[in-house]
Structures are given as structure tokens and as C-alpha cells.
Amino acid sequence: MYWKTNGKEESEETAAAIESLFGSLHRQAAEGRGQSALRLDEWVDLATALRITQALRDCRGNRSAAARALGIGRRTLYTKMQKLGIEVGWSPPPVRGEATSAR
């Protein structure tokens, strides 16, 4: 089996590895919710929440920069965060080596 991603053909080995990885992630996510399988919308929401939180972490909580990194508008990011229960007041964990200030 060959998959096309971004106009490039992936090898059988790569396609099998991707399928195995996503299958494993799906099983773990479903089991974590006490289900045998996730509906497509649940799977997409889970992946979206993960990617948004990664972007926020990478951008140290700067939502405008995170939206740019994700290739979406800032308002779209806020809407997705609200839908997925990601707090707008999210603050990133301290970066290793940085002194933490008292709050």
C-alpha cells in the first residue's frame, strides 16, 4: 500500500509504521476514556488539542505566535481552545535553567 502525503509517495514500510503508530495511539486514547474505539470527531479533537498545547508551549504561552505557527487566525485559535477546554490563561511551565519567580 502506498500513501500520498503532500504530493509525495510514501514507501510500504513508512505507511505501515504510520498505520501502526496511529493504531497504537488510538487504542491508548480509547482505553483512557473507557471505550473500545473513538469516534472520528473525538480523535480529531484529541489531536487538535495536543497540537494546540504543543504550539502554546513552543511559543511560551504567546497565543498570537501559536496561531501563526499553526497557520490559523488568532480568533480561530481562541475558538478552538474554548471548544476543547484549553484555558485561555494557560501559562507555560518554566524553561529548564531559568529561575522561577515568586507569584
pLDDT in tens, 19-33: 888 788 888 888 888
Element (H, E) at 8: strand 8-9
Q: How far apart are CA 81 and CA 74, in angstroms?
A: 10
CB 58 within 8 A of CB 92: no
**pLDDT at position 30, please?**
84
**pLDDT at position 33, please?**
81
- Higher pLDDT residue, 7 or 62? 62
pLDDT score of 10 more than 80 = no
**pLDDT at position 89, please?**
61
Q: Give pLDDT tens digits for 51-89.
A: 999 999 999 889 999 999 999 999 999 999 999 999 866
